[in-house]
Amino acid sequence: MRSTPLHPVARLPEEWSTSLAARGERSFTAKQVFHWIHRRGILDPAAMTNLPARLREHLAAEGLGEVLTPERVHRSEDGTRKLLLRLRDGATIETVLLPSVSGPGSQAQLDADAAAADDDEDDDAEAGAAPRVRVTQCISTQVGCAMGCGFCASGVAGLKRHLGAEEIAGQVLLGRAMLEEGEDLRNVVYMGMGEPLHNYENTARSLRLLTHPEGINLSTRRVTVSTSGLVPEIARLGADFGGQIALAISLHAADDETRSALMPINRKYPLDELLAALRAYPLPRRRRITIEYTLVAGQNDDPAEARRLAKLLRGLPVKINLIPMNPIEASSLGPPAQERVAAFQEVLTQAGYSCFVRRRRGDDVSAACGQLVLLGAKPKVRRALG
């Protein structure tokens, strides 16, 4: 049972139907309210002009209004935009808009960036149509994170609180409103601050909101949930959404000792349990699980570990994203030299895996993976060797 009433932005159309019917409103108002919020991105009840005045007043009294206030937008030289958002209780989170990069080889790069299980062919190449810029949005699910991974700014900060579904979906409402001319919101990745499956209820609700046909209507396969490997919740996500939500797993090691040193969660859910959960995930045909592997110099970057990884993943439908670690202020850990990254990739490619090195995006505004921090603190300026 919920102790607090659902925020209006977190309600699904059927829940609006129930609450509005109880107030004696006509049945179609439920859809109208949901449309205003999720299809049109309007949160100010006064602007919902087709609703009766008494209903608009009621919605205002229920706290419908700004859920998140944009505080700052940092624009990177590469087009990445990082939004610092303030929550109602004063805490801050960040979300990142990543436009696709044009130029040779960019599609492979975009796929790696998006990490979405987007294996189908290009579907917006209509004859004569102007090319659209596809944007991937990376969103947060918690203020901080309880998982304690030593290479991640959110992990080092610890968990402050879970985000409500209205705050998770609200990031996308805001992100969509900030798209520029020619841009389309194409993918949403749950790869910002926090562990989505540790905040399962709100994450699941936000997935229903974002993929609802009456709202933003994102395709489930273009929404990727990334997890450090919470085994019971992986099963739950698979069951609740029939395997339709794209899954990314932060693996970062192929043996328990190395993984536990980097990711404390591995002591609770070791590799054999995690791999069993991946095998059991009800993945639709022709879709793949994304394996994220943050390469940390001297920790998990040995070619022997790449060979173990190749063996561990044998038989699973996966694609592998290698992410050279982005430096963070709180840690002396860093990325391997470029040749070592290339050697690691080569082992996996030779073993027959589709394996990309994720390019660093938004580095100059601290918007790269793992750099999203509580108060927008700057990372230590350090260059990768090589």
Binding flag, residue 145, ligand SF4 (CB under 6 A): yes
Helix, strand or coil for residue 112?
A: helix
CB 29 within 8 A of CB 55: yes
CB 306 within 8 A of CB 290: no
What number of other Cβ atoms are within 10 A of residue 271's Cβ?
18
Strand partners, 96: 82, 138
Helix, strand or coil for residue 323?
A: strand
Closest C-alpha to 97, from 124, 122, 120, 70: 70
Q: Measured from the CB of residue 248, what is the shortest distance to ligand SAH in angstroms?
A: 7
355 annotated as belonging to a binding site for a ligand: no
CB-nearer residue toward ligand SF4: 132 or 268:
268
Beta strand extents in 29-120 (DSSP E only): 68-75, 81-87, 92-99
In the chain, the amino acid numbered 320 is I
Which parts of 132-161 interact with ligand SAH (CB under 6 A)?
A: 151-152
Query: Residue 329 catalytic?
Result: no
CA atoms within 13 A on the CB side of 136: 25
194 annotated as belonging to a binding site for a ligand: yes
Residue from 25, 94, 166, 233 carrying the catalytic annotation: 94
Q: Measured from the CB of residue 243, what is the shortest distance to ligand SF4 in angstroms?
A: 22
Q: Measured from the CB of residue 360, what is the shortest distance to ligand SF4 in angstroms?
A: 16
Which parts of 246-305 interact with ligand SF4 (CB under 6 A)?
A: 250
Q: Which residue in this structure is represented by tokens 């991105």?
A: 41
Residue from 25, 166, 355, 369 carrying the catalytic annotation: 369
CB 99 within 8 A of CB 85: no
Q: Measured from the CB of residue 265, what is the shortest distance to ligand SF4 in angstroms?
A: 7
Of 30, 93, 139, 152, the one binding ligand SF4 (CB under 6 A) is 152
Query: Residue 138 catalytic?
Result: no
User: Which residues of this chain interact with ligand SAH, rule CB under 6 A?
Assistant: 151-152, 191, 195, 226-228, 250, 292, 294, 323, 325-326, 328, 369-370
Mark the binding-site residues for [4Fe-4S] cluster, compressed into ranges: 145, 149, 152
User: Which residues of this chain interact with ligand SF4, rule CB under 6 A?
Assistant: 145, 147-149, 152, 154-155, 194-195, 228, 250
Catalytic residue positions, numbered = 94, 369
